[in-house]
């Protein structure tokens, strides 16, 4: 039986993956969007990727 592996990605790992997927990106911004504080687990990580329009 295969074992599962838990990977923990830090900011640099996430940026590296985004740059690999979108090499033409000229600006990448990562932030956490805190939604309604009354709802547990409602926050999300957001990546804004700017790509020149051809």
What pLDDT digit, counting tens, does each position of 8-54 carry? 999 999 999 999 999 999 999 999 888 776 777 778 899 999 998 87
Cα-flanking dihedrals φ and ψ of residue 14, to 5°?
-65, -45
Query: Using CA of residue 10, residue 33, residue 35, residue 52, what is the dihedral sign?
Result: negative
Q: Residue 15 has what pLDDT?
A: 96
CB atoms within 10 A of CB 28: 15
Q: Residue 17 has what pLDDT?
A: 96
Q: Please state, in angstroms and rounded to a whole number, the distance separating the CA atoms of residues 26 and 52.
A: 8
Q: Residue 1 has what pLDDT?
A: 81
Residue 3 in tokens: 């074992």
Residue 37 in tokens: 């504080």
Residue 32 in tokens: 């956490």
Q: Residue 53 has what pLDDT?
A: 82
Q: Residue 39 has what pLDDT?
A: 72
């Amino acid at each position: 039986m295969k074992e599962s592996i838990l990977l923990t990605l830090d900011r640099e790992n996430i940026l590296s993956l985004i740059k690999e997927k979108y090499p033409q990106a000229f600006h990448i911004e990562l932030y956490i969007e805190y939604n309604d504080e009354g709802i547990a687990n409602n926050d999300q990580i957001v990546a804004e990727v700017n790509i020149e329009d051809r």
